[in-house]
Chain A
């Protein structure tokens, strides 16, 4: 707090301030208008994540790129397919992060 009462302008500003406003029924009015809080269920999000992951896996399971990338990655070789796989995962993580931040801001 800036308690600089030695400054006449500060003292004058404080003197001219009326201070907190008495309630006068304000709190009751606000409480009456308070909406029910939206309960966020976690299951639709989890179900979506699993469904998305399963769909990705099914559509890519026949692709040799995915197998090659996965094999190379498991062996610690950063080949082209492994890098593509890594970049795809990093990109999806960034998108998920962006979505989470946007949701939090929107709240």
Chain B
């Protein structure tokens, strides 16, 4: 049995315990197992705003507690949590009227090659901000959180085809914008 299958089984058992005996300790274990990734997801979505991300994470887990009987095990528990977290984030965006970063569709120029790792971090962040919100969300879930395309589609409530095309387009844009850095890295490797 793979690790992730074993983890999923543990989660399902904890959910069953939390539901059957109204066992708060079982839910606390679920919370401790998954809070790290859910908070990381929300911090990325909230562009590093830790206070907002943690408020949303708290809302996510309170909602998960209320809706626990609706978890049917057709997705992993972590994916189900990511779905609730993303929906909380979208609701907060609508309520607080956060500015939605529109993608610069026509922006194709490269960012200058950074000289240091810190510059690369800055350029990478700038490049990420220039992606559309959907592309950022898809790359976050698919690549950084390690969800499959199917799980990402479930978490973001998006059709699978849309997830795949956002992932491809997002990576292509990053490749273009960070091309100078990649060329420099390749040159450093060969020299």
> Could you tell me which A residues sit within 8 Å of B by CB distance?
1-2, 7-10, 12-14, 16-23, 26-27, 29-31, 33-35, 37, 104, 107
CB <8 Å contact, A2 and B28 = no
Interface centre among A2, A19, A29, A104 (most CB of B within 10 A): A2
Cβ contact of A27, chosen from B32, B37, B149, B182, cutoff 8 A: B32
Interchain CA distance A17-B44 in the complex, whole Å: 9
CB <8 Å contact, B36 and A12 = no
Given known A-B contacts A30-B62, A34-B65, A14 and B40 have beta carbons under 8 A apart: no
Given known A-B contacts A1-B148, A31-B31, A37-B65, A9 and B171 have beta carbons under 8 A apart: yes
CB <8 Å contact, A9 and B58 = no
CB <8 Å contact, B36 and A30 = no
Cβ contact of A2, chosen from B27, B125, B149, B175, cutoff 8 A: B149
What is the distance, in angstroms, from A75's C-beta to the closest C-beta of chain B? 43
- Let me know if B155 is at the binding interface, CB within 8 A: no
CB <8 Å contact, B36 and A34 = no
- Chain B residues contacting A1 (CB-CB under 8 Å) are 4, 146-148
Interchain CA distance A104-B68 in the complex, whole Å: 11
Given known A-B contacts A1-B146, A9-B178, A29-B58, A107 and B70 have beta carbons under 8 A apart: yes
Interchain CA distance A18-B146 in the complex, whole Å: 13
- Let me know if B43 is at the binding interface, CB within 8 A: yes
- Chain B residues contacting A33 (CB-CB under 8 Å) are 58, 62
Interchain CA distance A33-B31 in the complex, whole Å: 13
Interchain CA distance A23-B33 in the complex, whole Å: 10
- Chain A residues contacting B171 (CB-CB under 8 Å) are 7, 9-10
> Beyond the given A9-B171, A34-B62, could you list 11 further A-B residue pairs with CB under 8 A, ordered by the A residue number?
A10-B143, A20-B39, A21-B35, A22-B36, A26-B57, A30-B31, A31-B24, A34-B27, A37-B22, A107-B66, A107-B69
- Chain A residues contacting B174 (CB-CB under 8 Å) are 9, 12-13
CB <8 Å contact, B28 and A27 = yes
